[in-house]
Amino acid sequence: MAHAFCLDHGLLPKESLSLDAASLSGEVGRFDRACAAVSRELDDAIDRVGKQIGEEEAAIFRTHRLLLRDPTLTTRVKTAILERRIDASTALREILEEYNKLYGQIADPYLQERMADLRDVIGRILAQLTREVQAPILHPQEPVVLVAEEILPSQALTFDRHLVAGIVTESGGATGHAAILARALGIPAVSGLRGLLREVQTGDLLAVDGREGHVYVNPGPEVETAYRKLQREYADFAGKLIENRDLEPITADGIRLELLANVNGPLDAATAGSAGATGVGLYRTEYLFLTHPSVPDEEEQLAAYRAVVEAAPNRLVTIRTLDLGGDKHVPYLGHRREANPFMGFRSIRLSSAYPDFFQTQLRAILRAGVHGQVGLLFPMISTLEEVQRLKKIVDRTRVALHRAAIPFSEEMPLGIMLEVPAAALCIEALLEEVDFVSIGSNDLIQYLMAADRDNPHVAHLCEPFSPALMQLLHRVIRACNEHGKPVTLCGEMAGWPRCFLPLFGMGLRRLSMSPAFVPSIKEVVRHTTLELAERVANRVLQMQTYGEIRGYLTRKIREAWPHVSLLDVSR
């Protein structure tokens, strides 16, 4: 519970500020400083992208620099400040609006690209300007609930856990990347609340119930008292659970599981240890790139990967190669709008299209391998040929490192993420090629159900309770066990107590989740038996509807561990 703080990305229409005569030259100076900062950002991007990716990609930033230097833009903004006494942000938004009206309806790809470039440049200047304005507000004395149309993954990374008490957004879904980051930071979040920004104003008191997906705006005294009590109970219970940190993840009948953590960087890797994880099952390397102003070079990547390996429990880390695209973009890879970004130029498809860039990452990962037990994981595999091609690239990278006498891990196991149903259906053939498998259930569900994981209108289809998903998971887990290849499930469902019994009953022994969920899953593990789990899995595999599966698993978890269900989503 905390007061709301409404955010926008600067591009939305806003109340304009009218300035008094004395502050006009100050506003022009602020605009000049913002442009100078953007110019430095672009110079840096041109330089680094040109060297590390290619001149063609760097050309985008040259175009942006030309637009920034175009006196028509800067003169118009300054004239608007001085003559109409409006602030720089308002002037920029007006210009953008005008161009949108002029060119927005013309379906000419060239013009559309130029509009995208202009939006990009104006967005950068606005970001500089609002950073100045918002800095004091974004460092409030007490925690706030952020209210926004959407939270970008790169933004979520900058949140301070102590100042963000909750996040509520109009768009996005429970397995979207911003939600995943909120979860990693232990911040309650609710997404998909259409019309929210019309209902909520900065300063309103909000109660955010991230388990139920409820948000109360200015709740009455009864709701407030009830939620304050629940908040205390939740904190007490979570505090008690963390005491199980040093206990083994062993079931009541003596079967050992691996409870691993999903991390984005060294801080999370350290949290994984304090939460009681036995290693890092998924290191999402793209966050290094999302937070870096330009492409990190091999040494920078090596330093980052090594820091994660050294901070991880048992120095055990599965490093995933870049998984960009979909909802995660870096400007330097020449990102262009796509009609279906999750089904488009994403993830391994994107990395493979930039061989030098990709090799740099592979070299850094192979080199980081000498500092611990590291596995190399390729995301979003669709075909056998892709895997065969990737293995050749890894071989070539190894040879190059060898020739240069640079130390690297010679025996690093190679694995693939099962996220595309086609790959899951051909699992046997893929197992011949790889050392381990990781089931990315977030993407597997979205592709299996044809339901965008970030679209609130189809969020009900993205829950992990469909009979189709259960059948597919069963098939994959059984095949991996039969081939003696380790299989980990690393999507969000790994951290849901309700999903544990069927997964364990199907034969899964390794789960990787947000560190925040390790204590509650360990509690469930320590109080379960294989016999119970197999019974539950068999029942679930015979069910034919979502509702039956969800109802049955919810009842089971409540019956068996009423206290743990406090931490689960109980819808």
How far apart are CB 417 and Mg ion at their closest, in Å? 6
CB-nearer residue toward ligand PEP: 87 or 443: 443
Is 499 catalytic? The answer is no
Q: How far apart are CA 31 and CA 34, in angstroms?
A: 5
419 binds ligand PEP (CB under 6 A): yes
Q: Which of 209, 286, 327, 443 binds Mg ion (CB under 5 A)?
A: 443
The H or E element spanning position 566 is: none
| Minimum separation from the CB atom of position 177 to ligand PEP (A) | 7
Residue 60, binding choice from Mg ion, ligand PEP, none, Cβ under 5 to 8 Å by partner class: none
Alpha carbon distance 341, 496 (integer Å): 28
Closer by beta carbon to ligand PEP, 5 or else 500: 500
* Residue 249: CB minimum distance to ligand PEP, A: 20
Lay out the site mask for ligand PEP across 306-335 (x = CB under 6 A, - = otherwise). Answer: -----------------x------------
452 binds ligand PEP (CB under 6 A): no
Distance of CA 303 to the CA centre of its chain: 22
Residue nearest to ligand PEP (CB): 440
Segment lying near Mg ion (by CB under 5 A), choices 435-443, 504-512, 517-525, 534-542: 435-443
95 Cβ neighbours under 8 A, 6+ residues apart: 73, 76, 77, 122
Enumerate long-range contacts of 543-550, CB under 8 Å, 24 or more apart: 543/467, 543/470, 544/467, 545/467, 546/460, 546/463, 546/465, 546/466, 546/467, 549/465, 549/466, 549/467, 549/470, 550/463, 550/465
Select 143 or 440, whichever has its Cβ closest to Mg ion.
Answer: 440
Of 174, 157, 154, nearest in space to 446 by CA? 174
Q: Pick the piece of the chain touching Mg ion (CB under 5 A) from 46-54, 312-320, 387-395, 439-447.
A: 439-447
| Binding site partner of 556, from Mg ion, ligand PEP, none, Cβ cut-off 5-8 A by kind | none
Of the residues 35, 462, 480, 490, only one is catalytic, namely 490
Tokens of 495: 């951290």
CB atoms within 10 A of CB 386: 19
> 3-state class of 375 per DSSP?
strand
The residue (of 96 and 448) whose beta carbon lies closer to ligand PEP is 448
- Tell me the window of 201-209, 432-440, 453-461, 514-522 that interacts with Mg ion (CB under 5 A): 432-440
Q: Which of 64, 177, 335, 371 is catalytic?
A: 177
Is the Cβ of residue 61 or residue 447 nearer to Mg ion in the bound state? 447
Residue 139 C-beta: closest distance to ligand PEP, Å: 30
User: Mapping DSSP to helix (H, G, I), strand (E, B) and coil, where does residue 149 land?
Assistant: coil
Q: Which of 10, 192, 440, 519 binds Mg ion (CB under 5 A)?
A: 440
- Judged by CB under 6 A, the residue of 89, 171, 442, 466 near ligand PEP is 442
Name the one range near Mg ion by CB under 5 A: 91-99, 145-153, 436-444, 552-560.
436-444
Site string for ligand PEP, 486-505 (x = CB under 6 A): ----xx--------------
338 alpha-carbon distance from chain centroid: 19
Residue 463 near ligand PEP by CB under 6 A = no
Pick one of Mg ion, ligand PEP, none as the site partner of residue 490 (Cβ within 5 to 8 A by kind): ligand PEP
Q: Which stretch binds Mg ion (CB under 5 A): 288-296, 314-322, 387-395, 437-445?
A: 437-445
Asked if 413 and 376 touch (Cβ cutoff 8 Å), the reply is: yes
Token pair for 320: 């995933």
Using DSSP's 3-state secondary structure scheme, residue 316 falls into strand
Catalytic site residue 3?
no
Is the CB of 374 or the CB of 381 nearer to Mg ion? 381
Within positions 171 to 190, which residues make up the interface with ligand PEP, using CB under 6 A?
A: 180
Between 52 and 438, CB nearer to Mg ion:
438
Q: Which of 115, 95, 116 is nearest to 103 (CA)?
A: 115
- Pair type for strands 280-284 and 189-190: unpaired
Rounded distance, CA 198 to CA 208, Å? 17
- CA-to-CA distance for 242 and 533, rounded, in angstroms? 24
CA-nearest of 157, 166, 163, 153 to 210 is: 166
124 phi and psi, to 5 degrees? -65, -45
- Helix axis angle for 88-103 and 24-52, nearest 10°, is 60
Binding partner of 284, given Mg ion, ligand PEP, none, CB within 5-8 angstroms per partner class: ligand PEP
Instruction: Write down the least CB distance from residue 110 to Mg ion, Å.
Output: 34
The strand ranges marked E within 221-345 are 258-263, 280-284, 316-320
Query: Of 87, 443, 452, 523, which lies in the binding site for ligand PEP, with binding defined by CB under 6 A?
Result: 443
Footprint on this chain of ligand PEP (rule: CB under 6 A)? 180, 282, 284, 323, 419, 440-443, 490-491
Footprint on this chain of Mg ion (rule: CB under 5 A)? 440, 443
Active site residues: 177, 490
